[in-house]
Each structure stands twice: as C-alpha cells, then as structure tokens.
Amino acid sequence: MGIGDNERGTRVCKGVVFHLKELDITKDFLPLSLGSSDVILGMQWLETLGVTKTNWKEQTMEFEVNGRIAQIEGYKLLGKSLISLKALVRTLSKDLNGYLIELSNTEYQVSPPDPVPLFVQDILSQFECVFQEPTGLPPPRAMEHKIIAKEGTTPVSVRPYRYPYYQKGEIERMIKEMLQAKVIQPSNRPYSSPVILVKKKDGS
C-alpha cells in the first residue's frame, strides 16, 4: 500500500463496475482493509490506460478510452502522507532547516465540573423528558410536512457537497450513531439532503 504496509487479500470480486465521474471501470477488485479509503486503483489498472498525460501540480490525468479523451482529477486536500522519523531526520539534515518536535505522554488532572445550581436542578427534574437523548423518530402528527412537486416533475440532479477528506470518518460515525438511536432511517427516495459539518466554538 501507499503507506508502506502490506495487505494481503483472500478473495476477489469479479467484474465490478466502478462509476468514476463520466467513466465506467469494470475490473476485478480485491476486498482489503483500506482504513478511510474507499477504493484504490492500482498499477494493474493504470497499465491498461496506455499513454497518459499527467499534471502532478494540478493532480489531473488524461487518457483515451473508447476513442474519446477522459480526464480524472485528484482531491488536492489529500496531499499529505505519513512519514517515518528516519525519513524526517534525513530531510532536515539535507535541507538544513526545519523543526523537529518531540511528543511525549503527559499527565493532567481533570477538574470536577461546576455543581448545578439548585434552581436549575429543579427545572431539569421537572422537564426531564425534554433533556433525554432521543431514541426514535417523532410520532405521527395530525399534520405532516410535505413538499408537493408539480405532476411530472423529476428530481434535479445535484452533486453532493464537497468536504475535506478527514471529515469522512466523522460523518460516518455520526450517521452510525443516529441510525442506532433511530433518529434517522435509511431512504431510497430520489431526493436527498446534503451533509454539512460545522465546527463548534471549541473546535470539535
């Protein structure tokens, strides 16, 4: 793999169709543990492209497929990779500048939370059901909210919102938690709601 680890596959998925932008790729794929990555197109696929035109700065690659030119573009925020301490020291010694940061375990004592005032405790006890974590979808109401489209109207094709790759794991974790709490449910309808993560003031 690209990070230097060896990963051995035990099975193969034959003839999988992978949709990449306007390009359909039909190949045999190996199910591997890829961490937060979904798919890796390796050298066996790259060898089938023949002559390619690559712009490493813009992270684009052009090649010919079925008599037409196809282009794929990389995600520029992924331009980071793990580095070993040995390679880091070698780079610093060659460039003669930089910073070497040493991380060590530290111990700290967590201060107890501030006590809740009595008048607040009374309110929390009185409306305890309001402050409980939800465990399901709202019950049916007499009036349900609906968006009624004109007859014959088809859903508008909208691309998903782009988000930094490092947020992928957090989005999947939150969706898993909400599914377990049953506050959301799977849907196969043609309409969707884009996902947007907004940081809190404390950076979380």
- pLDDT of residue 197 exceeding 60, the answer is yes
- pLDDT of residue 3 exceeding 60, the answer is no
Mean pLDDT over 33-54 rounds to: 79
- The whole-chain average pLDDT of the chain stands at 78
CA distances from 107 to 29, 104, 133, 202 (A): 46, 10, 32, 21
pTM attached to this predicted model: 0.36
Token duo for residue 201: 């003031």
63, 69 contact by CB (below 8 A): yes
SS3 53: strand
